[in-house]
Chains A and B, each alone.
Chain A
Amino acid sequence: MMTIHSMITNDCQILISGSCLPLTQEKTVNRFLITTLSFILLACLNISATYAAEINNDNEINKLKKQLEQTRILLESMQKRLTHLEQQQKESTMAVVQPKPVPTANTPSTPMIATKAPQYAPPAAQSASLGSASSNAFNPDISAVLNGGYQAFTQPPSGFAIPGFPIGDAAGLGNRGLTLNESELDLASNIDNLFYGSLTVSLAPDGGANVEEAYLQTLNAPLGLTVKAGRFFSGIGYLNQFHAHHDDFIDRPLPNRAFLNTQFGDDGIQIRWLAPTDTFLELGGELYSGNAFPSGGGALRGQGTWDGFINAGGDMGYSQSWKAGISYLQTHAIDRNAFDAAGNTAGSFSGNSRLWLANMVWKWAPNGNPVNQNFRFQSEFFYRHEQGLFGTTTPNAAYLGKQFGWYSEGVYQFTPGWRIGLRHSELFANNSGASVTLGGILDSTGHRPRRDSFVLGFNNSEFSRIRLQLSRDNTQSKVDYQMGLQYIMLIGAHGAHQF
């Protein structure tokens, strides 16, 4: 057991040994340097005196003069530094040695509770290094996500399509009946003092593993910069960067599925800069290989996609907080495949695709304490401009797409563990060009795809979630009524989530 007294003196010693020894060493080194430099200087003077007569060239003399002057300045600055260091050493010794032990409850001079004093040991100070540091203390946070449930549709999900939108392979509905969804394995940890690393592998129910995210992130970059590299979900929009198990609904909104193939991530690099302001302000940019939807084919020698985003956020009083942002993504796609709900290729696109996003989220929790009640409202807007060639087998006919989409959702936790949510999503496509054929993929048939969902969720703890979702899906002209039951279970040490 250490008292405050011994703790302080111990630390003082550490401080002294930590800072003063190098100071002394530095001083010796400096003295040595000064001496050496003086000799060199003297030697230079000698040499210059001896040879001055022989040197006719004014330039040479000037050069020597300059060198001499430089040496003098160097000596002076070193002398100054030495004095400064000596001064600092004096000050730090003063500052550090002075803390005097003050009588505390631990020292005998202060009585414990007088008459009926409980005979418990007083609290002990503990050195930070003490603890149960077994060999597996360095293990990363390891967690797994179990995800499964039941889905029912009034229309066959194999007929799903979004009129006017060439969709990616992950935009469709799931299977009917009892299903196991993708399981997830996560490893995350600080790698060393400079880097943080995270790996997420998703395991498809019918076999096969897929690297969903594998990235490193800097911890020590200067000037408020953070660099991320590897494969990761993009920071554009709001919902996109979150893993699906974070969501309050079973599926992603229609526009995320149509424009981002549910979730956009690719191999690349991200730079974010956080402004040194009290209001949260963040600028970010990403450069990607261009292999993932809405791109394809890894154009521009594997740098086909880039984007930029700006986010701001803050609090309004204790109970409300908000975040809003705008993003822009641009890509050059080569043979980007469009799929039908059965997973077959239904078309191919080559050309430029530009996507604008605006997003906002507003959260409310009484007194900033979300444990009992809280409410969240979020909304995102998407606009896409695509120009190039499209065809069912090869891109061969002109295609100009102007497409718009948005969603809004509100989720209310009315009592600990229980929440309800409502969401509306809507899309609209205005496509033109020779590739838009009657009844083809790009034909929107004047229909506005839309979908409404209601969700009831129960969390027994922050690690287990069960939910029921009812949807009226008017993505196609025939209305589809859908019901989904889902469980999401987190096993192990799972990292905290972002706002």
Chain B
Amino acid sequence: MITYIRLLALTSLFSITILGFSASANADVRIFACEPEWAALATEIGGGDVSIYTATHALQDPHHIQARPSLIARMRRADLVIATGAQLEIGWLPVLLRQSANPAVQPGKAGNLAAADYVSKMDVPSHVDRALGDIHPGGNPHIQTDPRNIAIVAGVLLRRLQQIDPSHANDYLARYNDFMQRWNTALQRWQQQAIPLHGLHILVYHKGWSYMMRWLGIIESDALEPVPGVPPTTSHLASLLAKLKQQPVSIIIYAAYQDSRAAEWLAGRANIKAVKLPFTVGGTDEASDLFGLYDDTIHRLLAASQGQSQ
């Protein structure tokens, strides 16, 4: 009997607190963006009608984020969660979703958008084995390295925002049209600028650039990680160095969040350049928005490859 009374007291305490909190509502669509590129895209299309929380920043490895209490608290009130998907966030997003007690953002709901679901993926493995490293069975999730994928996701995001917040449907549409106009202009500029990069052979730290390479016609010759997700080992770097003597490459690229030491070490031995790329919005000072991201990526690639030929 005493237990019942306690349970009852506990329940009523809960309901009182809940009523107290639920009174404070905000008109904005609350967006929980798992990566900075989606936060930047949501800013372009959502403008003042949304408030955005970015779960990670460019100096974090999006594969390895801890399901911190702050992230759970932010997801609790989110109206829309934008993730990359394709298992990029497999180590933390499922925990956040399950702990968030937020029905609106569970998979399958309008409030759950996995960008990679709408893009045809590269590097889909025909055979999955952990001995091959931390591979993604659904294909390469790093879709944001090709700006044409951003355009596809922009269309998906527009419709989701219209669905979640129909009262501002026309505002979203106007911003989308404006963004796409600017994006297509920029796309042509980038493609013109990147002509000298076509056919370049490069080394990558992690197989995270497949989409960019396909876009710009760059050829990936190898990766510093022996298998995806396993940090470069000295023996693997030594074998790469030996291989570079036979098949030279122009540059080594690594993302802002990755340790530069392995890339710099190899670049120094092979007498080539190691270049840090922003990988996402905020990865470098210049990559302050989506346009800056690709401007700076191409600028850095060009600078490194030209420096090489001199």
Contact = CB atoms under 8 A, between A and B. Distances in A.
Interface in A75-130: 91-92, 94-96, 98-100, 102-106, 110-118, 120, 122-128
B305 interface: no
A264 B152 CA distance: 50
B95 A102 contact: no
Interface stretch (B35-43, B116-124, B263-271, B288-296): B116-124
Nearest to B231: A416
A315 B70 CA distance: 6
B198 A126 contact: no
Contacts of A122: 148
Interface in B262-305: none
A224 interface: yes
Interface stretch (A61-69, A158-166, A269-277): A269-277
Interface stretch (A27-35, A280-288, A378-386): A280-288
Interface stretch (A201-209, A369-377, A473-481): A369-377
Contacts of B10: 271, 285, 308
Interface stretch (B17-25, B236-244, B245-253): B17-25
A321 B66 contact: yes
A123 B72 contact: no
Contacts, number: 250
A455 B69 CA distance: 27
A120 B188 contact: no
Contact of B77 (A116, A276, A312, A463): A276
Interface stretch (A7-15, A47-55, A338-346): A7-15
Nearest to A12: B159
A428 B22 CA distance: 45
Interface stretch (A36-44, A248-256, A395-403, A491-499): A491-499
Contacts of B3: 287, 300, 303, 306
Interface string B146-175: 101101100100110011001001100100
Given A276-B76, A283-B14, A461 B159 contact: no
B28 interface: no
A95 B162 contact: yes
Contact of B70 (A103, A280, A372, A498): A280
A123 B69 contact: no
A110 B195 contact: no
Given A120-B214, A126-B117, A285-B10, A103 B184 contact: yes
Contacts of A499: 66-69, 72
Interface stretch (A144-152, A213-221, A446-454): A213-221
A219 B106 contact: yes
Contact of B230 (A103, A112, A461, A497): A461
Contact of B216 (A100, A118, A313): A118
A113 B217 contact: yes
Contact of A117 (B11, B67, B198): B198
Nearest to A299: B3
A363 B70 CA distance: 13
A498 B177 contact: no
Contacts of B74: 278
A314 B70 contact: yes
Given A11-B159, A122-B148, A274-B76, A368 B214 contact: no
B6 interface: yes
B307 interface: no
Interface in A239-279: 271-279
B120 A126 contact: yes
A462 interface: yes
A196 B97 CA distance: 11
Contacts of B64: 369-371
Given A123-B149, A371-B64, A499-B66, A7 B217 contact: no
A319 to B, nearest CB: 10
B203 to A, nearest CB: 19
Nearest to B155: A4
B103 A219 contact: yes
B108 A193 contact: yes
B188 to A, nearest CB: 6
Q: What is the interface of chain A mostly: helix, strand, loop, or mixed?
A: loop
Interface residues of A, number: 94
A273 B177 CA distance: 41
Interface string B174-195: 0011001100100110011011
Interface residues on B, range: 35 or more
A392 to B, nearest CB: 31
B254 interface: no
B257 A274 contact: no
Nearest to B158: A99
Contacts of B130: 461, 463
A173 to B, nearest CB: 31
B102 A110 contact: no
A98 B174 CA distance: 10
A105 B163 contact: no
A135 interface: no
A221 B76 CA distance: 12
A128 B14 contact: no
Contacts of A120: 214-215, 217
B90 A496 contact: yes
Contacts of B91: 462, 496
A359 to B, nearest CB: 13
A116 B117 contact: no
Most central of B22, B106, B120, B130 by chain A CB within 10 Å: B120
A280 B69 contact: yes
Contacts of B146: 123
A362 to B, nearest CB: 12
A8 B159 CA distance: 8
A225 interface: yes
Contacts of B59: 318, 367-369
A15 B90 CA distance: 30
Interface string B213-225: 0111100000000
A438 interface: no
Given A277-B21, A314-B70, A321-B69, A125 B184 contact: no
B180 A104 contact: yes
Contact of A220 (B14, B103, B194): B103
Nearest to A369: B60
A314 B73 CA distance: 8
Given A4-B151, A318-B59, 9 more contacts: A98-B169, A117-B217, A123-B143, A223-B18, A224-B76, A280-B73, A312-B69, A369-B59, A462-B134
Interface of B: 2-3, 6-7, 10-11, 13-14, 17-18, 21-22, 24, 56-57, 59-61, 64-70, 72-74, 76-77, 90-92, 94-95, 98-103, 106-108, 114, 117-121, 130, 133-134, 138, 143, 146, 148-149, 151-152, 155, 158-159, 162-163, 166, 169-170, 173, 176-177, 180-181, 184, 187-188, 191-192, 194-195, 198-199, 211, 214-217, 229-231, 257, 259
11 contacts: A98-B173, A99-B176, A110-B187, A113-B192, A193-B108, A224-B101, A225-B14, A271-B10, A278-B70, A314-B73, A368-B65
Instruction: Please name the 6 residue pairs, one residue from A and one from B, whose CB atoms are nearest each other, closest first.
Output: A313-B69, A118-B217, A95-B169, A280-B69, A102-B180, A280-B73
